[in-house]
Structure 1
Amino acid sequence: MIQTNMESTPLLERKDEGDKSKLGNLLKANVVFLVFHLAVNIRNPLVTQYVYQRYYDEEFDNSTNTLNQTSKCYVNESDPGYLLQERVQEKTSDFQTILTAIGSSLAVISCMFLGAYSDYLGRRFLFIVPLIGESIRYASVTIVIYWNLDLRYMYIGEVFEGITGGYNGVILASYAYTADNTPPKNSRTIGIAVIDFTTYLAAAASSASTGYFIKDTGFLYPSVTTLSIMLLSVLFVIFLLPETINTDRRSQYPSPVKAVKNVFGFYFSKDFGPKRGLFWLILASYFLSMFCGAGVSTVQYLFQLNLPFCWGPELIGYFNMAMCLGMQLLGIPVIKLLHLCTSDPVIGIITAFIQAGAYVLIGLASTDFMLFSFVVPNGVASPFPPTVRAIMSRMAPPEMQGSLFAGIGLVNIISGTVGITAFNEIYNATVEMLRGFAFFRLCGIRVLVRSDSIGVPVCISPRG
């Protein structure tokens, strides 16, 4: 009787299912992620430019100096407006640093527990909580803009974002959900890469229009739009996204201490044996990579708004669109092409070198053409983060993907906080001497990432 039941069980069918990606689920997750990032990629330049404009108005309205021109980009260093312009940049940079520190310090704890418990409570839970926090954050910005309140009221939204995991929580949910629906092969690398490139697609779709949106309507309507889109992503998760965690696990969720051990066990537990060293090495490379990415994100806007470019919202939008299209159109083909002849670790090494060269190019830029030429090498280098995440995901057990990406989420938060703070300060210190200096530092760190990656074995089996 037992033998008959075993023979009647479709083992081969179940094995085939485990070796195939669940494309329907992946498509729905990418729809949610696309909508989410449409909101994110309108909000980020909106907030930077709004804060910059508020400080600009404050400094120039309070100035008793007689300004020699009406342009918003002062060229002559002896002009009183030039000094005020430098002060506006520094104030904007400092305010963004504070916003990041508030949200990120709280998200370190919330993302760790969200990821660990999502292995038991489900991935929909992991999506909904941070999306609600992001909606509150976006609402706070809209309220500040509508009533022209003190900018410090934005801190309230950052607190809610941090408590609920916010942006990093949604990223964590997306990677864990993708890992649930892909086998531990090259297809997982592609699946995780598609999540990243959905980000670029959303940014490309919104960047150019955002510049005109801000110019034609001001800051309020774009802010209301971001809030509406964010609420739409919450509805999509509730009504569209299937759960991937079995219901029988929901009564087995661990104690908080056990949840923390699950997150850090990859690096400290003896159960992972020699893999612990690999986890540490890959995590170090990933930390440095995200440190660079976060650092460049805000500095780049300040770099474009002022000398020698003096860009307005429209041109910033076009640049963002070109950069994101470059990553979207070049990233996945580069991965597919290199998979024909090499492995994920080698892809990471190659793309780290290319990214370093791209940062040198943008640091030396003195014309619009030089700045736009950054788009191509940056797009070719975009596969580095997804390949690193895929390597770690394949090394981790399938029932611990949430815990793994919780740890990766912590690295995102810490590296982002440190990166934004460090490079804002570097930019402030060097803005009068060499504006592109921060990008040269990014280049050096990228080369260091490549050196770390050399120690990663180039042949890792699908199961780690």
Structure 2
Amino acid sequence: MKGLFLVEPVVALYAFSSFLIYPLVQQYVYRRLWQDLTNTTYPISDNTSRCATNSSSNQSGYNEIVQRQASLFFLYTDLFSTIPSLIVTLMLVAYSDRGGRKITIILPLFGTLMYTLAFLTVSYFELNVYLLIGSSLLSSLFGGLGTFLGGCFAYIADLCEDGHQKTLRMAGLDMMIGLLAGVASISTGYFLRAAGFNWPFLTSALCLCLTLVYAIFILEETVKKTPTDAISLEGSTQSSALKQMIYGVYRMFVGASSRCKIILFLLMLIFTSFSFAYMGGITLMTLYELNEPLCWTEILIGYGSALSTTVFLVSFVGVSVFTYCGVPQLLIVMIGILSVASGMVMVAFAKTTLLMFIVRVPLLLSIMPFPVLRSMMSKIISKSEQGALFACLSFLDSLTSNVSTAIFNSIYASTVAWYPGFIFLLSGGLCVIPLFVLGVVGLIGVDVAEEVKKPEEENLIEDQNDNSALLS
């Protein structure tokens, strides 16, 4: 049976299963820590806020203690899982240039399934909550979200020749994440209230199993190996695979002109600095909403998470409209960065439920820089080096996301007692860095793709000769 060249269903099902439990993870850890640290039952209310019925000084003190410990818990989780995930991401996505893209999609799905089953086991048997840190470490050995998305974006790059088509298709993946994540998030609160934590975790695991079936048996591979490639792959050692990965990244920079190297480096710097500021603030939204004076219930957190995921849809529409109207790509990136900066500053001063919903509006265009920057860098790099490029981007994205989450969680633990919103002011302020670098790129100019790309035939001949020399 002939397979399909459609990676969007994989991304959609993965997004649904992940965001079905993502809001639950922080809530589950928060409730378990509340019970362990305070020896009291976690306060559950049908009101819009738990603070309405639990305003005693004891409850206020409990909130500060649990907030601090919960942020440290997620700090430890990130620290233990970051390094293995980064190594696997860099090696797998770069290796996919010759080993195929599907391996970068299937392995992270296995890791996420293991992580979900670990949560289900801990929740069902009420095991020690710190076992979840070990499960996070184990799942990171199969790669993570960075590996999965890196493989999917490289898959799209293989299929698209036109630059505008590539930009829209990559933005479409982000939109797919937003749509399905929104559906999952809005149902999470009701699911939790009606059935507890176990059933959402089980549902997520079943969705991941369905995704694996599609990825393994239906999704078609875009990297076709010749018989000689297959023989070399079977006989190659782990050392040669590592050399191929290093060589692919090396060639990505060496094969370009000096001007292109500078632009590629600056675009990567914008990508990582923006990801650092954005992810550091957005990952602490749920903890902030659980704290006083908001004290959101699971229903409100579900609505808030669903509203937050609409940024993917609105950002896709924004990229599509701006691209159709001929708006410069650097300007699209700047609008997205300003969207994050203004939204995070507003979150820092949101003290009521209404304001917390309203602050999502400035954030609606916050995802636009990611697909645009990926497309800009992809057009600079030759087709034979797309895997190396997206390996670097996935590595940098995973590194900055995990490091920023760890740093922001530690800062939040230190500042939650005197000003919980400080962390969002920091997130908004850090957006100045990518804006400054973006101005530098604008002064240099980015229309150098034709100047730095070698003819594809010449690249293929050189790559085959260099690969033979490297493996010999």
Range of TM-score over shorter length: 0.7 to 0.9
Q: 8 Å contact 1:122–1:244 — kept in the other structure?
A: yes
AA at the equivalent of 1:440: L
Q: Deviations over 1:239-294 (max 9, x none)?
A: 22111011214445554123123225445x36553321111111111111111232
Cα offset, 1:435, TM superposition: 1.6
Determine if the alignment matches structure 1 residue 421 to structure 2 residue 399: no
Q: 8 Å contact 2:69–2:413 — kept in the other structure?
A: no
Instruction: Give the number of aligned pairs.
Output: 430
**Which residue does the alignment assign to 2:215?**
237
**Which residue does the alignment assign to 1:173?**
151
TM-score, normalization by structure 1: 0.88
> Does the residue aligned with 1:365 lie in a helix, a strand or coil?
coil
Determine if the alignment matches structure 1 residue 331 to structure 2 residue 315: yes
For structure 2, the 5+ residue unaligned runs are 42-48, 234-239, 453-472
Q: 8 Å contact 1:139–1:157 — kept in the other structure?
A: no
Q: Deviations over 1:172-198 (max 9, x none)?
A: 111111111112412211111111111
**Which residue does the alignment assign to 1:367?**
352
AA at the equivalent of 1:356: A
**Distance of 1:344 and 1:274 partners within structure 2:** 19
**Distance of 1:145 and 1:78 partners within structure 2:** 29
Q: 8 Å contact 1:185–1:462 — kept in the other structure?
A: no
AA at the equivalent of 2:165: S
Q: Over aligned residues, Cα RMSD in angstroms? A: 2.1
**Which residue does the alignment assign to 1:389?**
374
Q: 8 Å contact 1:197–1:327 — kept in the other structure?
A: yes
**Distance of 1:182 and 1:461 partners within structure 2:** 19
- Please list, as runs of the form range in 1=range in 2, the aligned pairs for 1:430-445 lying within 5 A after superposition: 430-445=415-430
Cα offset, 1:364, TM superposition: 1.4
Q: Deviations over 1:131-161 (max 9, x none)?
A: 1121111111111111111112223322232
> Does the residue aligned with 1:454 lie in a helix, a strand or coil?
helix
> Does the residue aligned with 1:247 lie in a helix, a strand or coil?
coil
Q: 8 Å contact 2:176–2:312 — kept in the other structure?
A: no
Percent of aligned pairs sharing the same letter: 25
Cα offset, 1:345, TM superposition: 1.7
Q: 8 Å contact 1:304–1:310 — kept in the other structure?
A: yes
**Distance of 1:84 and 1:75 partners within structure 2:** 14
Determine if the alignment matches structure 1 residue 140 to structure 2 residue 118: yes
Label 1:89 to 1:384 Cα distance change in 2 as closer, same or farther (>3 A): same
**Which residue does the alignment assign to 1:46?**
24
* Larger relative contact order, structure 1 or 2 (CA cutoff 8 Å, min sep 6): 2
Deviation larger for 190-199 or 78-87: 78-87
For structure 1, the 5+ residue unaligned runs are 1-23, 64-70
Q: 8 Å contact 2:23–2:305 — kept in the other structure?
A: no
Cα offset, 1:341, TM superposition: 3.3
- Please list, as runs of the form range in 1=range in 2, the aligned pairs for 1:272-311 lying within 5 A after superposition: 272-311=257-296
> Does the residue aligned with 2:283 lie in a helix, a strand or coil?
helix
AA at the equivalent of 1:338: F
Matching residue within 139, 146, 155 for 2:133: 155
AA at the equivalent of 1:105: I
Flag as ranges the 4+ runs of structure 1 deviating above 4 A.
Answer: 74-78, 249-254, 461-464
Deviation larger for 106-115 or 160-169: 160-169
Cα offset, 1:73, TM superposition: 3.7
Cα offset, 1:80, TM superposition: 2.3
Determine if the alignment matches structure 1 residue 460 to structure 2 residue 447: yes
**Which residue does the alignment assign to 1:315?**
300
AA at the equivalent of 2:92: L
**Distance of 2:406 and 2:144 partners within structure 1:** 19
Matching residue within 133, 151, 164 for 2:142: 164
**Distance of 1:227 and 1:297 partners within structure 2:** 25
**Distance of 2:406 and 2:162 partners within structure 1:** 36
